Structure formats: C-alpha cells, structure tokens
Amino acid sequence: MANFFDTKIDFLKGVGVQKAALLNLELRIFTYGDLIQYYPFRHEDRSKITPICDISEDSVSVQIKGQLMSWGMLGEGRSTRLSAQFTDGTGTIELVWFQGAKWVQKNLKLNTTFLVYGKPTMFRDQFNIAHPEMEIFTETTENKGLQPVYNTTEKLKRSFLDSKAIAKIQATLMPLAYPQLQETLPDGLIQQFKFIDKKSAVKQIHFPASERELAQAMARLKFEELFFIQLKLLSQKTLHKKQFQGFIFRQIPTLNHFYKHHLPFALTNAQKRVVREIYEDVCTGKQMNRLLQGDVGSGKTMVAFLCMLMALDNDTQACLMAPTEILAEQHYRGLKEYCDLIDIPIAKLTGSTKPKERAILHEALKEGTLKIIIGTHALLEDTVQFKLLGLCVVDEQHRFGVAQRAKLWKKNTEVPPHVLVMTATPIPRTLAMTLYGDLDISVIDELPAGRKPIQTIHSFDKDRLRVLGFMKKQIEAGRQVYVVYPLIEESEKSDLKDLQDGYNSITRYFPEYAVSILHGRMKPKDKDFEMMRFVNNETKIMVATTVIEVGVNVPNASVMVIENAERFGLSQLHQLRGRVGRGAEQSYCILMSTFKLSKESKVRLETMVRTNNGFEIADVDLKLRGPGDMSGTQQSGVLDLLLADLSQDAEILKHAREAAKLILETDPNLELEANKNIRQHIASLKKTSLNWSRIS
Ligand code: ADP
Ligand code: MG
C-alpha cells in the first residue's frame, strides 16, 4: 500500500499543479509528509484585542478593533502614500500604505468595524501601522486564537502563497492526515515525560487552541527530533565499536621513560586524567574515535605527544595533521625537541615540501624507519603510505571535514588507526553531543598552574596613543606584541590596505624596533620567514591578519592588540587572545573598536573582558549566533533542525540522549515489542523523508 504521506501535494485541494511546482522549488515540499512537517516558525496571538491607548514603544504586533475616520493620499513622488486615521474610542492611530494604494482605497469603508493587525511604529510622535492586515469584523472573525505563521518567499508571495495561504492548505490537509499519523515514541517514554501523543502534537503545532497546547506540541516534537538524532548517533557509535578492530597499545616503555626523565613540566590533573582515558581506550581492541576538547593553552599538544608514544611503543607509526603550514611547523618544532631527547625520528610534510625531500619521506614512512610525521592536508594524499599507522592526531578539527577524517583511516588496509581529534575552540556540550555524538569525548578543563589570567581591556580608537605607549613599555621590558587586523576574505583589498597602513604607522611610531608583517596572501616561504623572525625575538611586533589565529605559540609575546575587534566573532577573539598568556609574564589583550557598536558587538566585547573561560565564551557565542554559524558546524547537516534549538534546548537534548542511550543499552537492535514505534518510524524515515538521509 502506498504510504499516505508519500502522496504528491499536486492534487490537494487549493494547491494544484502550478502551485505545487512552486512549493517544490522554493520550499522543497513535494509530498503530504513534507507539507505536514513544514511547521510554522511562530504564531500570532489573535485572541486579544489591544485598546489603541495601550499601544506603547514596546508593542510587538497588535490586533485592534475600530472604525476608519478618514483617509487620503499624502506626500509626493517616492513618499506618496495612502494614510488613514483609525479609532477605537480609546485613541487614534494612523494606517499607511506605500504600495497598492489604489486597490486598498477601494476597500476602505466608513461606519464599518474592522479588525486590524500589524506592528505599530512611532513616527513624528504618533503611532502608525504600515501595511496592516485588515478585515471586516464579524462574529466569525472574532477570536481566531493563535494563528500559525509560515516562512515563505517573495516568489511564493507573488503567486499568492503567503503565510495565510499556506495555513489554509495545512488546514485542508490536517483532517486527512490526522487519522494517518502514527505514534513514533514508545509508550514508556510518553508516560515518563507526560508527552501528548503524536497526532495531537502535529495538530497542535499548526493550530494550537492556546499557548498551553502550543507548548505541549513543541515539547513533544522537539524531544522527538533530538531523540531520533541521538538514537542514530549512538547506534552508529555502538556499531562502529563492534565493526572496527583497533590496535592494542598496552606496552608503554618509551612513554614511561619520557615521562620519568624528560617531561618538561608536571602534567595538570586534567591532562593526566585524559591520558589515562585515552590509554584505557587504546587497550580495548576497538578503534578509538575520540574528541579532545580543551581551551587554548590547556596543553593538548603534550597529551597528543604522549599518545603518539603509545603508538610507537607498539610498533606502529603516528601522524599529526594541522590545518595550516604555520601550525604544522610549530608542532613540528615543538615535538622535535621532545623526540630528539629520546631519539625518535620525526619529519614534516606540507604542500611546500620539495619533491626530492618528499620522495625520501614517502620511502621512510613506507619502510617504517620514520616514526612520526607532522603535516598539513598533504598527508591525506594517496601517495603518502605508512608501514603501519597506529594513531592519527587531527588538530583543530573544525577545519577538516568528516570525509577527510575518514581518508586518514584508510591508510591501513586491515586495522584502522586510532583517531584523536583536538579542537581548539571549545564547543558547548549540547553542540558537542550533536556534532560529535558518535565520538567519545575527553575534556581538559584546567590550565597549567601558575598561569596568570590574561587581562582584557576594551579601548576606543581615541585611546590609541595610550595603547602605543603601553606597547612600548612592554617591549622595553623585553616582551613582544601582536597587532591583528580583521581580514574576512583574503581577497578583500581594503582590509589588506588597513593592514598595510597599520604596519606603516607602527614602523613610524617604533623606528627603533623591527616589525614583522604576516598575511594570507604571502608565499608560504615568506610567511615562515617572518614567523621565524618573530619566534626568534628578532622582531618585536607582529602585525598580522588572522592567519596567526590558529595555534601559534610564542611564549614571550605578552600583548595582543586586536584592531576593529567589533568585526570578529567571539570564538575568533578568544582564539587570538590565546596567542598570549603562554609564558610566565602577565599578558594583556587590548580590544580596539570604534564608539559605534551594535548590540551584539557590545555583548561580544563585554564577554571577552569579563571571562577567560573558553566554554563560557562558547555558550555566549551559541546564544548570539545560533548553532549553524558557530565555527566548525557549517558542513554539518546534523544542525538543520526543524524545531529544536541547541542554544535553548539543552535540557531536552540531555533527556533525549539519555533516553536513547537507555533504550539502546537494553535493546541495541530495537527488536523489543516496546520499541515497535521507534522501529517503524525509522523504517518510514529511511524510505521517505529527506531527514534521515540528511543525518545519516
Ligand atoms: P593548546 O591546548 O592550546 O594546544 P599547547 O599544547 O600549545 O596548548 O600548550 C600551551 C603551552 O603550555 C605550551 O607552551 C606547553 O608547553 C605548555 N604546557 C602544556 N602543559 C603544561 C603543563 N602541565 N605545565 C606547564 N606548561 C604546560
Ligand atoms: Mg594547540
């Protein structure tokens, strides 16, 4: 039997072939199933009538009831408009139309009661409503309750498919669809969370009779949405563990030797805990897929190195992949120091490695004489082959896609290497659970002892002389300084000019010091050269774009000046700030901005000044921008949620994940009678909707 929800919308009453084609094209609504899942994004409360005298600056959209007193055309040229005075006895308000005046005017009547709906705005000391919705008041128009509002497009509106029209189509479909809707959750969960049933939920999300009904529908449907995603992720994880064998790294003599005799500092408790978690994981015989989260400067590199030693100790090789050449170079330099202490061969492979050298590296990797390789994307190339790759460390995960991660695994034919993914940008828990729900997660939630928290100051452009004076003092005290300019697109000429101007004025102000400049358009060789001059303390000031954002480590740098700080996102600001505060000295971050700041920019800068905690900053970022715009989430279809909002619904997510986990623990293949609804729903998702393929 054909599934009701697969029925094409074309022949639904009020749709028709032409409108159906438009709905296909514009909203990707093809079937009844797609349509019924096209939920309103908000509701308008039409149950209340607001007296005109109660309208205030804070009013959102209001519904008023009254009569027209007069109307006529005002203004000339482009500001020509139809203006009407409207009263309900408590006050008057102006209604205006800038377009379609002729048509509107025909429908205006005296001595007739109208219902008017729209958003009042203040203009020249009087409230007005532009392009209000209007209809003649009758008994049936009264008390329409909560009206659904659907997203639509200009093109649809021109073809008379505005929100109201879509609501009408939904109202036509609802009585047909209602009896066909199947329960998707097990009874146990419905009772536990006191959810309403699926039928009611779908009906109430489109046409709630009250705020309460809407809330019930939202609670149930959001849970359901998150529950099925978590179920999917968690079962993938279980399946993965079942399917993929992993190397067992039990022997760790070199690691122990290094730890006892060469460790340059005592590990923090968090680092120790994480190393233990990883060690346990690589002893299970299953492939490790682990995300290592830790704030900037929390010491992820040392953890990664110790894990590499685990791999080496068990006759396999290790690689570390970084997103940029600069970062690969830094890692290489840092790790080489450790490797030299214990005679371990290590090399670097990037896009700019010469063919001759490359050939030698390829050979050594294949032979197994080279144990550790640090590199960029160049490592992914098929020509790079290992004798036996035991561990892949991927730094700054968010720059790599999932497909690239998988490419690394395929370096071995039989047992895949263990994978440790490190993120520098902390991700709020809710997001991590969804984005990386199929990975195990370790968190370093502690900074090495003795670090002085970075002091962050917000300065305005007029304070520039003071800031320059401060930089001078710091340099005289032996420190180095970063000055960073925004460069959203490396191709933006004006940004590059800002950078150049900044560089010029700094060299003018500090004639006695050598100054470096670094931006993405420079050749890799020149970049490295400038970076090294700064690392070696030959240059005192580094004027750069955000290319230095990721991971660069110069402990002697103690001041980070960020120009046009209002143009940066929060996580980027936090990353940049993380470039200082890496040594023993007190460090400073100075956020320069103009006076005119948007509300959001203000929140961002205030947050930076208030806290150094990356996780707290990530939370604010999530609230400000929503999950889709957070760095690292772009390629992830997981976040195209219909209803749930990861910045708001952390609690629901937690419950959904726990519920999914519990169910999979007792019934991994969803075979029990109690889980019949789940099983059927997944089967229907796989068959029909876009959703399941989107998250699979
Ligand atoms: P991130 O987590 O941002 O990658 P790094 O691994 O680059 O941080 O570490 C930042 C700095 O802190 C490095 O200079 C590193 O040598 C140092 N470091 C790491 N762990 C410790 C520790 N336990 N005690 C003192 N310094 C540490
Ligand atoms: Mg790092």
Domain-located, residue 628 = no
pLDDT of residue 331: 92
pLDDT of residue 636: 45
Domain co-membership, 578 together with 681:
no
pLDDT of residue 633: 44
- From 301, 307, 327, 582, give the residue whose CB has the most ligand 1 atoms within 8 Å, as the site to mutate: 301
Domain co-membership, 257 together with 354:
yes
- From 269, 444, 571, 582, give the residue whose CB has the most ligand 1 atoms within 8 Å, as the site to mutate: 582
Domain-located, residue 431 = no
pLDDT of residue 204: 95
**CA–centroid distance, residue 137 to ligand 2 (Å):** 66
State the residue range of the domain holding 69: 48-142
pLDDT in tens, 98-134: 888 888 888 898 999 999 989 899 888 889 999 898 8
Domain-located, residue 212 = yes
Domain co-membership, 156 together with 121:
no
Domain-located, residue 71 = yes
DSSP assignments along 250-299, one per residue: ---HHHHHHHHHT-SSPPPHHHHHHHHHHHHHTTSSB--EEEEEE-TTS-
Q: 8: which DSSP letter?
A: B
As for how many domains the chain has, the answer is: 5
Backbone angles phi, psi at 691, to 5 degrees: -60, -45
Domain-located, residue 465 = yes
Question: Residue 407 is which amino acid?
Answer: K
pLDDT of residue 581: 86
Domain co-membership, 30 together with 53:
no
Query: Which listed ligand is nearest to 395 at the C-alpha?
Result: 2
Backbone angles phi, psi at 477, to 5 degrees: -80, 5
Mean per-residue pLDDT pooled into runs of 10, the chain (696 residues): 84 91 93 93 86 87 92 86 93 90 86 91 88 82 77 87 92 94 95 96 94 95 93 84 88 96 95 97 93 88 97 97 86 94 96 93 96 93 93 77 71 89 79 77 88 92 92 95 79 73 92 91 83 91 79 84 92 89 88 91 95 88 70 49 82 92 91 92 70 36
Q: In this structure, which residue's CA is closest to atom 16 in ligand 1?
A: 299
Domain co-membership, 305 together with 417:
yes
Q: Domain of 382: which CATH number?
A: 3.40.50.300
Domain co-membership, 197 together with 126:
no
Domain co-membership, 58 together with 17:
no
Check: CB of residue 35 under 8 Å from CB of residue 82.
no
Domain co-membership, 470 together with 606:
yes
pLDDT of residue 513: 95
> Is 40 a pocket residue for ligand 1 (Cβ < 6 Å)?
no
pLDDT of residue 592: 95
Domain-located, residue 203 = yes
Supply angle C-alpha 411, 415, 420, rounded to 5: 70
- From 275, 292, 293, 298, give the residue whose CB has the most ligand 1 atoms within 8 Å, as the site to mutate: 298
Check: CB of residue 199 under 8 Å from CB of residue 208.
no
**CA–centroid distance, residue 268 to ligand 1 (Å):** 10
pLDDT of residue 142: 54
Domain co-membership, 334 together with 279:
yes
Domain co-membership, 11 together with 157:
yes
Q: In this structure, which residue's CA is closest to atom 19 in ligand 1?
A: 299
Domain co-membership, 206 together with 349:
no
d(CA 231, CA 501): 54
pLDDT of residue 402: 61
Q: Domain of 52: which CATH number?
A: 2.40.50.140
Check: CB of residue 114 under 8 Å from CB of residue 84.
no
> Is 425 a pocket residue for ligand 1 (Cβ < 6 Å)?
no
**CA–centroid distance, residue 298 to ligand 1 (Å):** 6
d(CA 630, CA 624): 10
pLDDT in tens, 361-398: 999 999 999 999 999 989 988 899 999 999 999 987 65
Domain-located, residue 318 = yes
pLDDT of residue 143: 59
Query: Which listed ligand is nearest to 582 at the C-alpha?
Result: 1
- Can you list the alpha helix ranges (DSSP code H) found in 417-561? 429-435, 464-476, 493-509, 524-535
Domain co-membership, 138 together with 2:
no
Domain-located, residue 134 = yes
pLDDT of residue 177: 94
> Is 297 a pocket residue for ligand 1 (Cβ < 6 Å)?
yes
